[in-house]
Amino acid sequence: MRGTAPKGSGGRIADALASGKKQFKTTSFSLSGTAIWPQGYETDREIVDSRLYSRLGPGRFDGYEGWRFTIHNITTQRHGNAYAEAFAEAFLDAISTTEKVGQALMGVSTATNYPTPTGLDRQLNQISKLIRTRDTRNAERDFFFFATGGWDMHSNMRRNLERKFIEIWCAEQVRG
């Protein structure tokens, strides 16, 4: 299925850096689900949820050990259906990503403590932790996609727009 889905500009830039003269080790993360922007032709986006934190660590699948055999069984057999094959591949990729990124994030904290009351704050906090894992992940160039909703305003636009700008301004002030 590689190459058939839409590709984003962030992922294509990561592809160019990875295949260019210096062949940088690149990683592309989405903290906003299956967004297109971080997906390249050769660079897969790694989806990270800033809200997840299991007893095993950030974003890890609590039942992985108990389900390991079943996951292996589902993802290694041929299903004879393009949709089932694509689902099995995406499922295995999601499990692999949560384990790999979860292990890298284990015990990682930000350089400064700051509150994370909003989705934007949580995403930026997770990005700062991912940046701190660059050496562990052997990464040379990282791409991050995040989003904040609530911009579709049908009433009280002035007040709601001010609230959204304050949210962004506060996030910027805390991080300096």
pLDDT tens digits for range 10-29: 999 999 999 999 999 999 99
Contact (CB, 8 A) for 130 and 48: yes
For residue 25, the model assigns a pLDDT of: 96
**In terms of pLDDT, which residue wins out, 45 or 1?**
45
Contact (CB, 8 A) for 31 and 144: yes
Rounded to 5°, angle at Cα 87 from 73 and 11:
120
Q: Quick: pLDDT tens for 65-123.
A: 788 888 888 888 887 888 888 888 888 887 887 778 888 888 888 888 877 888 888 88
For residue 58, the model assigns a pLDDT of: 53
In 37-118, alpha helices (H): 64-76, 82-105
For residue 51, the model assigns a pLDDT of: 60
CA-CA distance, 104 to 128, in Å (whole number)? 13
Closest CA to 114 of 71, 154, 174: 174
Q: How far is CA 111 from CA 69, 88, 131, 175, in A?
A: 39, 38, 11, 10
**In terms of pLDDT, which residue wins out, 49 or 14?**
14
For residue 50, the model assigns a pLDDT of: 65
